[in-house]
Amino acid sequence: MNWYCAHIVMFVELKNTSQMRSPVWEKVVLIEANNEDEAFDKAERHGRSEEGDDGGTFEWEKSPASWVFAGVRKLTECDAVSGNSESGTELTYTEFELLSREDVKRLALGKPVRALFNDVFRRSDAKSNKVEGVAKTAKRKRA
């Protein structure tokens, strides 16, 4: 068995209100599997199991909402998960480009920036692996 880090993308869908923006979380989840195909399948099942509205109690900015599984953005093999792991061990990474050094500083401070993601660790049947978007450090919100 091997260990993988699955980057699972979830978004918030408001129930009774139209949305101008979609809040998105990318969860990095450890998956144990025999191979990449099995790891993708397990990651997708995990993402689907996270969908829902906590029995109707979940809200986003005071509006009834649900979490929706968008997909597995990438999967990386994780060699470091073992009895030899220690603090500071790298488990996964994300490759992306920013427009300037000022944007790098802004990102490091948790401020929003525009980013071009260049990840290539996707299932071969997935569509484009380049996604332009906004990267922002966010605090986890609970219902």
pLDDT tens readout for residues 18-52? 888 888 989 999 999 999 999 999 999 999 999 99
Per the model's pLDDT, the better-predicted residue between 104 and 121 turns out to be: 104
Token readout for 11 is: 């978004």
Mean residue pLDDT of the chain comes to 81
Q: Give residues with Cβ within 8 angstroms of 132, minimum separation 6.
A: 114, 115, 116, 117
Please return the burial class of 34, using the count of CB atoms within 10 Å of its CB with bins 0-12, 13-18 and 19+.
exposed
From 16-20, 73-77, 91-95, 134-138, the region with the lowest mean pLDDT = 134-138
Residue linked to tokens 């944007």: 103
Q: Mean pLDDT across the stretch 134-141?
A: 35
Q: Which helix (H) or strand (E) holds 107?
A: helix 101-108
**What is the per-residue pLDDT for 77?**
86
